[in-house]
Amino acid sequence: MYALPFLDLPPLSAADGRVRLPGSKSISNRVLLLAGLSAGTTRIHDLLDSDDTRVMLQALRALGCGVSGADGVVEVTGLGGTLAVREAQLFLGNAGTAMRPLCAALAVLAATQGGRFELSGVARMHERPIGDLVDALRRLGCHIDDLGRPGYPPLRLHGTAGGVLALQRPIRVRGDVSSQFLTALLLALPLVAQAAPVTIEVEGELISKPYIEITLNMLARFGIAVQREGFERFTIPAGSSYRTPGDVHVEGDASSASYFVALGAIAAHAGRCIRIEGVGSESVQGDIRFVEAARAMGAQVDSGPNWLEVRRGQWPLRALSLDCNHIPDAAMTLAVMALYANGPTRLTNIASWRVKETDRIAAMAAELRKLGAQVLEGADFIEVTPPVRWQPAAVRTYDDHRMAMCLSLAAFNPLAPTPGRTPVRIGDPACVAKTFPDYFEALFGLVQADAADVPVIAIDGPSASGKGTLAGELARRLGYLQLDSGAIYRAAGVAAERAGVDLDDGASVAEVANRMALRFDGERVLIDGQDLTEAVRSERGGLLASRVSVHPAVRTALHALQLSFRRAPGLVADGRDMGTVVFPDATLKVFLTASSAQRAQRRQAQLEARGIEARIEDLRSDLEARDLRDSTRSAAPLKPAEDALALDNSGLDIAASVDLVLQWWARRRPF
């Protein structure tokens, strides 16, 4: 996950490959609650691991449910309908799928068995309405106190044992604000439908109907066969009690699939294809119907029971006007696909966007405008016209995972009908953790960019000047890849020595360098499958590198390998010739130096930390000899690039150096 203040996406030009989706949020949290209410143990496979499911799991633990997990299977041992804990304070983050159903379930349990529960969340959760559900529960006889603004969390639910609920008459609930109110009652009332059936009637036009289908489907799996008349009247049969089905498999998240369907429609051109695994034609999730909307805009989608394959069809995409009531979450993705359409796209009947993680109509309108799009918005619609001129934009994400994932697709602006060539800065990328913690990793695994569009920071300088530490920290702070080119030369030296070739014979060493299969796995270096980290990182490794790196043939052999590190979202490369030879077009070049006395001291401290003793005088003369060899060799000698910024860090600690380079970097960015 990218836990950064922002993540810059370079202009992207194509996408190809396969992605496995994380589990559905809606199914995961329903299954967790049902497992928590059932008797016995439920083994949940492919459960989504995200912020929203984590708060639900914590709540279940606090309520006395058994929760354990291994090998991707989470086991929940439920309460069997009887409260094990009578008092708890539950923090539910910004998870509507936890807040609403837990509110209903705990309200009816507290009212009949006795108890006192407080439910709260983040500030935004306290702005998301729950009053219609609370009203329905109060009419039933539940005791619910508003602890803040009436009609919004936080709430206190309480009652004494032996309380009786008014279940004889139909329970009425509004359906036109959030379908989660009805879902909450459907999940809670089987707990009290023993003696007689319980009926729920929906007031107003029910929105987001497909989510109710998921609820009914999950209820059926846990032994409750709800009878219904359309979407107006639902009856829970008498004698209902939750029974665990034992094992439950959670399908991939259809809303999350929408970003990759859009990705395929926009960027899988010229024979490319995006294959999405985990959700397909047999999905029970309403957002799978996003596929129809994407097809209407021009996507070419093939499907199987639990997979989708998407290719670009019509291009530019077809502008359309669409009622999106049936796909409220995935419809946000259409608003971004609209950037690539042949005219204005209007999405209607989306009033529920305004009460989600943020006011999504306002948020989407504001951010798409920053990119250069023309946007009209109303109480329940949004209309997007593609940019005539794309603007480099630092977009806000409003602590809304879907804003972040949607807006990432704007980075394909080089493909737009009126093409752009501009990076997109995504604020607070870690907000995707709500439903898809590894979204950006998955995205970067599929996308292609023109090398010239991928930003590079080149850090060159002599041995032990602190390049590696600086580069590593910059890469971490920007979410970029890192190339330690010294390690590549070290690996070539080690491989050549192990192969027994003469290190002064450039052609033979180059042959070894060409053949070796080099892999970096975090800090570890594997050559031909063998872990040779120690040999590569040792002082001797450095000496071998210094010897083999003088040969032009060796440098040529390692050139393409180094270029291959230049991938989205960006690269920080350190070495001797990053700015002069390998990445002459680097966005920022830094030439890092420190006095040889300073460098010898740092190297000694480094070695000491690894339990190796060395005399400072020896280290200093080694370093000076190596400087001389690196800077006087004819092939790519160590020297600052003409346009490099010099940084003598003799008197700076690492944090100060990093801050300085980040300031230089900020000045080179267009935001």
Residues recognised as catalytic: 329
What number of chain residues touch ligand DC (CB under 6 A)? 14
Q: Which of residues 136-155 bind ligand DC (CB under 6 A)?
A: none
Considering beta carbons, is residue 192 or 471 the nearer one to ligand DC?
471
> Which listed residue (252, 264, 542, 569) binds ligand DC by CB under 6 A?
542
Residues 19-78 that bind ligand DC (CB under 6 A): none
Q: Which helix (H) or strand (E) holds 335?
A: helix 331-337
Residue of 360, 566, 599, 626 interacting with ligand DC (CB under 6 A):
626
Site for ligand DC in 549-608 (CB under 6 A): 549, 575-577
The DSSP element (H or E) to which 574 belongs, if any, is strand 571-575
The least CB distance from residue 556 to ligand DC, in Å, is 13
**Binding mask 305-334 vs ligand DC (x if CB under 6 A, - otherwise)?**
------------------------------
- Looking at the Cβ atoms of 216 and 459, the one nearer to ligand DC is 459
Helices (H), 445-595: 467-478, 485-499, 506-515, 533-537, 539-548, 552-557, 559-563
Q: How far apart are CA 38 and CA 271, in angstroms?
A: 49
Question: Minimum CB separation from ligand DC for residue 19, in Å?
Answer: 34
Q: Is residue 414 within 8 Å of 340, Cβ to Cβ?
A: no
Cis ω for the linkage preceding 154 (within 30 of 0): yes
| Contact (Cβ atoms closer than 8 angstroms) between residue 118 and residue 154 | yes
Q: Which is nearer to ligand DC, 262 or 509 (CB)?
A: 509
Look-up of token digits 């043939």: 553
Rg (CA), the chain: 30
Least Cβ distance, residue 593 to ligand DC (angstroms): 13
Residue in 336, 630, 644, 657 binding ligand DC, rule: CB under 6 A? 630
The residues that bridge with 350 in the sheet, in sequence order, are none
For the CB of residue 586, give the shortest distance to ligand DC in the complex, in Å: 13
Would you say 210 or 466 has its CB closer to ligand DC? 466
Among positions 546, 580, 598, 657, the unique one binding ligand DC when judged by CB under 6 A: 546
* Pairing label, strands 518-521, 87-91: unpaired
Could you tell me what percentage of the chain is helix, strand and coil, using 3-state DSSP and rounding each to the nearest 5? 40, 20, 35
Q: Distance between CA 197 and CA 416 in Å, rounded? A: 56
Nearer to ligand DC by Cβ, of 97 and 546: the residue is 546
For position 401 contacting ligand DC by CB under 6 A, the verdict is no
Distance set, CA 268 to CA 291, 386, 567 (Å): 16, 20, 18
Q: Please name the residues in contact with 19: beta carbons below 8 A apart, sequence gap of 6 or more.
A: 260, 274, 275, 276, 277, 442, 445, 446
Among positions 436-495, residues that touch ligand DC (CB under 6 A) are 463, 485-486, 489-490
Joined tokens for residue 416:
């737009």
Nearest distance, CB of residue 575 and ligand DC, angstroms: 2
Collapsing DSSP to helix, strand or coil, 70 comes out as strand
- If the CB atoms of residues 215 and 549 are measured against ligand DC, the closer one turns out to be 549
The interface region with ligand DC, picked from 364-372, 527-535, 540-548, 607-615 by CB under 6 A, is 540-548
Using the minimum distance from each CB to ligand DC, give the nearer residue, 78 or 542: 542
Compute the least distance from the CB of residue 658 to ligand DC, in Å. 18
Q: Which residue is nearest to ligand DC (CB)?
A: 486
* Contact residues: ligand DC, CB under 6 A: 463, 485-486, 489-490, 542, 545-546, 549, 575-577, 626, 630
